Amino acid sequence: MLVEHAGVQRKSIVPDANLISDLGLDEYTLGGVVLNAERRTERELDGGAHYTTVSDLAISLCRAKTVRRLAGMRYIRTIDGAELKRRISAKGSRIVIDFSAEWCRPCQMIRRSLAEIASEQKERFDIVRIDIDKTPDVAELYGVRSIPTVVLLRNGRHIETKVGAAPKQLYVSYFLYYFGGQ
């Protein structure tokens, strides 16, 4: 994979293609990390760290940076239709489905807010993400025509839909209202 940062292309071998998108990094950020990793490679290798490639060092730096940034936040998994059916079938389930796509900027804007809410409200409901490009049948089933769209399910029944990006506090109020929170 080629990544570009500040007009310079760098070759990066990423072992897991979903790693970058799951961590919320874009190619520009990864390019900057690769560039910094190339500059630090001699110092790191001389200091006793052993990386087989610059890409390994870059990925470890990405993970460290992202883990620090997301410390304390719950990870929202992107699931498929089969996993969603399994979660819905659980008795007493309260599920928030975030319909989004990797190319959608408003979806990326609300990602952090939803992760924070998932961490704060983990006892009350689950938040999962559905990528509409990978599972269009689930999006069609819930009538998703625009993204980001958030769908609320209680005991397997569709109770409400919210279309568009919103501030974190609005999402919190919305979820607590429909799920009976104080």
CA distances from 22 to 51, 116, 121, 150, 180 (A): 23, 16, 21, 19, 31
Say which of 3, 23, 104, 132 is annotated catalytic: 104
Whether residue 114 contacts residue 98, with contact meaning beta carbons closer than 8 Å, is answered with yes
Structure tokens given for 34: 């690769």
Burial (CB count <10 Å: 0-12, 13-18, 19+), residue 163: middle
Give the 3-state DSSP-derived string for 31-77, with helices as H, strands as E and coil as C.
Answer: HHHHHHHHHHHHHHHHCCCCCCCHHHHHHHHHHHHHHHHCCCCCCCC
Annotation says 62 is catalytic:
no
* Burial zone of 68 (CB within 10 Å; 0-12 exposed, 13-18 middle, 19+ buried): exposed
Query: Which candidate in 107, 118, 127, 132 is catalytic?
Result: 107
- The secondary structure element, H or E, covering residue 4 is strand 2-5
Task: Tell me if residue 107 is catalytic.
Answer: yes
- Which residues have a catalytic role annotated? 104, 107
